[in-house]
Structure 1
Amino acid sequence: MGRTPVVVLDNGASTIKLGVSNAGKDVRVIPNAIIRSKGDKTTYFGEEFEACRDFSSLNYRLPFEKGYLVDWDAQKAIWDGIFSEQVLRVDPTAASLLITEPYFNLPGIQEVYDQFVFEEYEFLSYYRCSPAALIPHGQLFSIAGIPSPECMLIVDSGFSFTHVIPIMDGAIVWPAVKRIDVGGKLLTNQLKELVSFRQWNMMDETHIMNDVKESCCYVTSQFAADIEATRANPKSNTILQEYILPDFSLNKRGRIRKPDEMTLDSDQILYMNNERFSVPEILFRPDDIGLPQSGIGETIAQSIALLPDDIQGMFWANIGLIGGNTKFHGFSARLLSELRPLAPVDCEIVIYESKDAILEAYRSAVHLAKQAAFSSLVVTREEYQESGSNACRRKFKDWRSADKEKDGPVDSGKGKASMRRVDEKEPSPPPSAKPVRTRTRTVSAVKRR
Structure 2
Amino acid sequence: MEKQNTVVLDIGACNLKIGTDDGIRNIPNCIFKSKMERRKSFISGQIDSCKDHSGLFYLLPFQKGYLVNWDVQKQVWDYAFGKDVLNLKPADTSIILTEPHFNFPTIQEAMNEIFFEEYEFQSILRTNATTLSYRKYEEEFPLENCCIIVDAGYSFTHIVPYHAGKKITSALCRIDVGGKLLTNHLKEIISYRQLQVMDETYVMNQKKGAGSEKSSKTQEQTIRLAGERISVPEVLFHPSDIGIPQMGIPEAIVHSIEKCPEELRPHMYRNIVLTGGSCNFKNSKERVEREVRSLTPSLYKVRVTMSDRPQEYACAGGLAWSTADHFREHLLTLEEYQEAGQSACQRQFIDI
Q: TM-score, normalised by structure 1?
A: 0.75
Note the 1:391-410 alignment, pairs <5 A. Answer: 391-398=344-351
Query: For each residue in 1:107-128, what CA deviation from the matched residue of structure 2 results, as whole angstroms up to 9, or x when unmatched?
Result: 1111111011111101111001
Query: For each residue in 1:352-374, what CA deviation from the matched residue of structure 2 results, as whole angstroms up to 9, or x when unmatched?
Result: 11121011111111111122422
For 2:303, the aligned partner's letter is V
8 Å CA contact retained: 1:153, 1:320: yes
For 2:273, the aligned partner's letter is G
Question: d(CA) in 2 for partners of 1:136 and 1:68?
Answer: 22
- Map of 2:33 onto structure 1: 36
| Structure 1 stretch displaced more, 373-382 or 76-85 | 76-85
2:210 partner SS: helix
- Map of 2:329 onto structure 1: 376
Question: d(CA) in 2 for partners of 1:180 and 1:315?
Answer: 19
Question: d(CA) in 1 for partners of 2:170 and 2:71?
Answer: 33
Note the 1:72-151 alignment, pairs <5 A. Answer: 72-139=70-137, 142=140, 147-151=142-146
- Map of 2:256 onto structure 1: 303
- Map of 2:273 onto structure 1: 320
For 1:118, the aligned partner's letter is F
Structure 1: runs of 5+ lacking an equivalent:
218-240, 248-266, 400-449
Percentage of identical aligned residues: 41
Question: d(CA) in 2 for partners of 1:210 and 1:136?
Answer: 28
Query: For each residue in 1:366-403, what CA deviation from the matched residue of structure 2 results, as whole angstroms up to 9, or x when unmatched?
Result: 1111224221100111111111111111111229xxxx
| Higher helix content, 1 or 2 | 2
| Structure 1 stretch displaced more, 382-391 or 46-55 | 46-55
Query: For each residue in 1:193-214, what CA deviation from the matched residue of structure 2 results, as whole angstroms up to 9, or x when unmatched?
Result: 1100111000000111112211
The structure 2 residue matched to 1:50, chosen from 48, 51, 54, is: 48
Question: d(CA) in 2 for partners of 1:328 and 1:148?
Answer: 29
Note the 1:222-233 alignment, pairs <5 A. Answer: none
Question: d(CA) in 2 for partners of 1:94 and 1:141?
Answer: 27
Q: TM-score, normalised by structure 2?
A: 0.95
| Structure 1 stretch displaced more, 277-286 or 37-46 | 37-46
CA RMSD of aligned residues (A): 1.8
8 Å CA contact retained: 2:9, 2:17: yes
For 2:33, the aligned partner's letter is R
8 Å CA contact retained: 2:139, 2:320: no
Kindly tell me the number of residue pairs found equivalent between the two proteins: 351
8 Å CA contact retained: 1:2, 1:372: no
For 1:351, the aligned partner's letter is V
Matched, 1:334 2:334: no
| Higher strand content, 1 or 2 | 2
2:114 partner SS: helix
- Which structure's CA Rg is the greater one? 1
Which runs of 4 or more aligned residues in structure 1 lie more than 3 Å from their structure 2 counterparts after TM superposition?
A: 1-4
8 Å CA contact retained: 1:322, 1:358: yes
